[in-house]
Amino acid sequence: MFKIFGAINYLIVVFLNAFTDLGHKIIIQNTIFKVYDGDILIVLTTVVNALILLPFIMMFSPSGFLADRFAKNSIMKHSAAFAVLITLVITYAYYEGLFLLAFGMTFLLALQSALYGPAKYGYIKELFGIRFITSANGAVQAVTTLAILSGIIFYTVLFEGAYSPNAKHEHEVLQSIAPLGWLLVAGSLIEWFLASKLPTTMQEVSQRSFHFKRYIRGEYLFKNLTTLKRKPEVYRAIVGLGLFWSISQVVLAIFGEYAKSKLGVTNTIYVQGVMALAGLGIVTGSLLAAKYSKYFINMGLVSIGAFGITLLVFSIPFVHSMNVMAMMFMSFGVFAGFLMVPLNAQIQFLSPRVHLGTVIAGSNFIQNIFMFFFLVLTTLFAYFGMNSDSLFFIMAGVGAYLFWLLFQRYDVDTFWAIMEIFGRTRHIYHYVGLENIPKEGGVLLLGNHVSWLDWIVVQLPLKRKINFMMDKEIYHWWGFHAIFKKGETIPISNKASKDAFAEAHKRLEEGKIVGIFPEGKISDDGVLGKFYRGYEIIPKDYNGVIVPFFIEGMFGSTFSKYKPKQKKSFFKRRVITVHYGKAISKDTKTEDVKKIIQNLKEKYE
């Protein structure tokens, strides 16, 4: 992925854009933190966040139009040049102690980001392509968060170093830290230079035009919102991101007051440092999400992320140690990465290229509407005396709704995501021949059986879900029956095998994958046993093929029947390889299938 021309350049531009925007926000927030307390502190912090959100709401239609009409790298270049002018004005405001001007420039800096955003994220699909869309999103999210994390630490440490304890008013604080403005200017200049070097990836020139009157009348807004709702999967992902960012914004807005009033922490380095650890967690979570989405966009991660976020937000009022709080914020970030990367990748993947800018702008619009609404509520609650504990509990309730919204759609994916996370703690997986499995049509998967986890190992790299045939007694195991039923497994017994194979035929006709272990049991010695001919009675009138496979490395593991006398180190992960053979005719006889799998075994073992 990083060998693609312009990839490294693009990621540096993304980093600098977030780093510079965050730098000014941190300086303003820390100025407010030093001067004000209590409800006023929460209200002003919320207003700062609102100034950043409003441009994304206002610029929904124009930013989407620009990203679809012009080359996205050109938009990034011109936006970066605009940022240079803005940071020069901000630096002037610092030196003159013009707090209101500096405060207001927060809005203007966010305005250029709002115009910049759809082009920046739409560029991912154009530059990296479908193959790397999840990995690229993981990298972008990690780089953006790293920029936020380093920006928080960098500007907060410099702020505290330059801050004069004698400064009691806003203008005095700003004048004491004024030289930091030149760092904002330098960051913008480098960003502009690198953005001007990005390659043009626009495949065809759009002839669209923008009419200001239609924009004022809201016609574009209605039209673009209709575009967003055309694909329910895209809209669900956008709403999910909106709820997540709403929770995050409120938590960050009230944590400063919570730390100051409940934990007695007044040093901005400690407060911002704890929140910055969420950024480190997001980097970790984003990279893990990209790893777990190596073969397809792993949507099961989003439910896990929502559940973890809800649990952590609910727990904050019960924690009174900054050290424990630091670990919680880092965990929050990991779960956030699990949620953000797949949802963003899903939006980009499912959106047609011609409307990609509009969809991403619409995603920004809805997310920021959510965040702005929640920040207004936070301001009202704080104004009328609601304490931070209550606000944390309310956000936990929102998190519970987010989890339910995502889990009801991705429940099966969530199960497989959990299996993969736990599996990768003990195993290293390699898959050979995945291209041999057709993207559509009926597929009969036949392979060796050496452990209780074979069905999990075979499924993990496949987006299409396998309908495994399973012993009826195991199928009805207490506590697992609901999972097996939801996973569309097919129960089979000696007395009802014909019904089971009839059901397998029905699934194959529907274009599904049916998995069978022809040995009928787990191997005791690792040698291919007798292959039963049951699958041969499945009618051959479906449109599909047989794909043989061989599992290597599971024999002798904890979950196999054979237990070697000399066990491997607990800390050494077992290497598991699954070899998928070339598709063969559905008329292939049992003995021939066994020979093919035996050949795979001898070739790779």
Nearest to 468 by CA among 514, 423, 526, 519: 514
Chain Cα centroid distance, residue 313: 19
pLDDT at 126: 80
pLDDT at 334: 93
Map residue 203 onto helix, strand or coil. Answer: coil
Cα torsion 166, 170, 175, 181: sign: positive
Distance CA 73, CA 419 (A): 40
Average pLDDT over the chain reads 83
pLDDT at 335: 95
User: Mean per-residue pLDDT for 435-456?
Assistant: 91
Which residue in the block uniquely carries the two structure tokens 């998995």? 515
**Alpha-carbon radius of gyration of the chain:** 28
Nearest to 80 by CA among 6, 189, 177: 189
pLDDT at 565: 66
User: Mean per-residue pLDDT for 138-149?
Assistant: 81
Is the distance from CB of 174 to CB of 183 less than 8 angstroms?
no
The b-or-e profile of 326-336 (16+ CB within 10 A means b, else e) is bebbbbbbbbb
Which two three-digit tokens encode residue 322? 């900054």
The lowest-confidence range among 179-188, 387-396, 564-573 is 564-573
Is the distance from CB of 382 to CB of 39 less than 8 angstroms?
yes
Please count the other Cβ atoms lying within 10 Å of the Cβ belonging to residue 168: 10
Answer whether residue 205 shows pLDDT above 60: no
Is the distance from CB of 438 to CB of 511 less than 8 angstroms?
no
pTM: 0.74
28-66: per-residue pLDDT in tens? 877 877 777 666 776 777 777 777 777 777 776 777 777
pLDDT at 445: 93
pLDDT at 210: 62
pLDDT at 306: 95
Which two three-digit tokens encode residue 597? 């799998």
Is the distance from CB of 236 to CB of 409 less than 8 angstroms?
yes
pLDDT at 459: 92
| Residue 429 DSSP symbol | E
* 508 or 477: which leads in pLDDT: 508
245-274: per-residue pLDDT in tens? 888 888 877 787 777 777 777 776 777 778
Rounded alpha-carbon distances, angstroms, from residue 471 to 517, 531, 550 = 11, 16, 21
Please count the other Cβ atoms lying within 10 Å of the Cβ belonging to residue 24: 24
208-259: per-residue pLDDT in tens? 666 666 666 666 667 767 777 778 888 889 899 989 988 888 887 778 777 7
User: Mean per-residue pLDDT for 185-207?
Assistant: 81
Please count the other Cβ atoms lying within 10 Å of the Cβ belonging to residue 432: 16
Map residue 40 onto helix, strand or coil. Answer: helix
pLDDT at 219: 66
Distance CA 489, CA 466 (A): 8
Count of alpha carbons within 13 Å of 369, Cβ hemisphere only?
Answer: 14
Which two three-digit tokens encode residue 15? 């980093």
pLDDT at 302: 94
pLDDT at 206: 57
Q: Phi, psi (5° rounding) for residue 429?
A: -100, 135
Chain Cα centroid distance, residue 205: 31
Nearest to 9 by CA among 109, 115, 143: 143
User: Mean per-residue pLDDT for 74-85?
Assistant: 88
Answer whether residue 323 shows pLDDT above 80: yes
Is the distance from CB of 135 to CB of 290 less than 8 angstroms?
yes
Q: Which domains does the chain have, with CATH numbers?
A: 7-198+213-424 (1.20.1250.20), 433-604 (no CATH)
509-543: per-residue pLDDT in tens? 999 999 999 988 888 887 888 888 888 888 888 89
